[in-house]
Chains A and B, each alone.
Chain A
């Protein structure tokens, strides 16, 4: 490998390592659950993306063949990271936040995280009045 190729791969690796470290450090350091959700789902995903780009460039430079595996992993991670973040945020809203503090939805229905509670309550009330 020539020097500029090594420097390019090394730069991607260093940036990726810093992002991965910062993401996991934020998970420990940030004050409340919603901000803690922010650090790993963005920074760590970016760190893994950097490692995968570095790996793609390394195999392109060292062995002269372009590999698509990394692109598949990157695509999969970048598609699933927002979905997991959304699910964890909903779980957090459901368990840790009082439902009176959540802003109104503007419709008859509650927020989706509270909908099962609401449906169960209505069902129990109807069952009690039916008897």
Chain B
């Protein structure tokens, strides 16, 4: 009972956070803000995947969240580097 309501609360919090990030991606004042919002979206999505793993009671989703964490990190660094140097691999 306590655990299921806490799970619902945490999922609701992270879902609202994802929606706010999406709003930020659409209406951002500059490109670095947009990259930052995308990076935060990746981190929030990892949290939602792990919460879904707890709800379902399986450990299948951890591999997916590790992959998403790696892809998110690489893409954020690539975006930031492209803005910084106009090139990704020099």
Task: For chain A, give the interface size range.
Answer: 35 or more
Question: Is there contact, CB below 8 Å, between B44 and A10?
Answer: no
Question: Is there contact, CB below 8 Å, between A87 and B77?
Answer: yes
Residue from A10, A83, A91 in contact with B2 in the complex, judged by beta carbons closer than 8 Å = A10
Q: Which residue of A lies closest to B43 (CB)?
A: A44
**Residue interface bits A14-46, CB-to-B below 8 A is 1, else 0:** 101110110111011000010011001100110
Task: Compute how far the CA of A105 lies from the CA of B86 in the bound complex, rounded to whole angstroms.
Answer: 23
Q: Which residue of B lies closest to A11 (CB)?
A: B6
Task: Compute how far the CA of A6 lies from the CA of B11 in the bound complex, rounded to whole angstroms.
Answer: 17
B89 on interface, CB distance cutoff 8 Å: no
Question: Is there contact, CB below 8 Å, between B46 and A73?
Answer: yes
Which of B5, B17, B62, B86 is most buried by chain A, counting CB atoms within 10 A of its CB? B17
Q: A76-B66, A91-B84, A94-B84 are in contact. Are A20 and B32 (CB under 8 A)?
A: no
B interface residues with partner A (beta carbon < 8 Å): 2-3, 5-7, 9-14, 16-18, 20-21, 23-24, 29-33, 35-37, 39-40, 43-44, 46-47, 50-51, 53-54, 57, 59, 62-63, 65-66, 69-70, 73, 76-77, 80-81, 83-86
A interface residues with partner B (beta carbon < 8 Å): 1, 3, 6-7, 9-11, 13-14, 16-18, 20-21, 23-25, 27-28, 33, 36-37, 40-41, 44-45, 47-48, 51-52, 54-55, 58-59, 62, 67, 69-70, 72-73, 76-77, 80-81, 83-84, 87-88, 90-92, 94-96, 113, 116
